[in-house]
Amino acid sequence: MTAQFSEAPRPLEPSTCGLCGAQVPAGAERCPECRMTAGFGPGEPRPFSRIAAWGLGAVLLVVYLVTLGVVALAR
């Protein structure tokens, strides 16, 4: 079985943390300030596609509305 995910190579120059904006040394796996992994930020791929994110939001809304309806009928 082959690995599905490959790690992106670490940058050879210092970068800026996508979460807190602190300087991250070259080759570091985490930000020294907030400890966020280096693969997070505006230049990195999203963990979910746009359709998956909207679908998850729609499912949560439906669950909320069904729960609200059940509570309203129980009164």
pLDDT over 70 (residue 7): no
- How far apart CA 73 and CA 47 sit, in angstroms, is 38
Q: Is residue 63 part of a domain?
A: yes
- What's the pLDDT at 74? 94
- What's the pLDDT at 59? 98
- How far apart CA 2 and CA 68 sit, in angstroms, is 45
Domain housing 68: 46-75
Count of the separate structural domains present in the chain: 2
- What's the pLDDT at 72? 96
Q: Are 17 and 31 in the same domain? A: yes
Predicted TM-score (pTM) of the model is: 0.47
What are the backbone dihedrals phi and psi of residue 72, each rounded to the nearest 5 degrees, phi first?
-65, -40
Determine which helix (DSSP H) or strand (DSSP E) holds 23, and give its type and residue range: strand 23-24
- Tens of pLDDT, residues 15-28: 888 788 888 888 88
- How far apart CA 27 and CA 18 sit, in angstroms, is 15
- How far apart CA 21 and CA 23 sit, in angstroms, is 7
Q: Is residue 26 part of a domain?
A: yes
- Tens of pLDDT, residues 28-65: 888 888 888 876 666 667 777 889 999 999 999 999 99
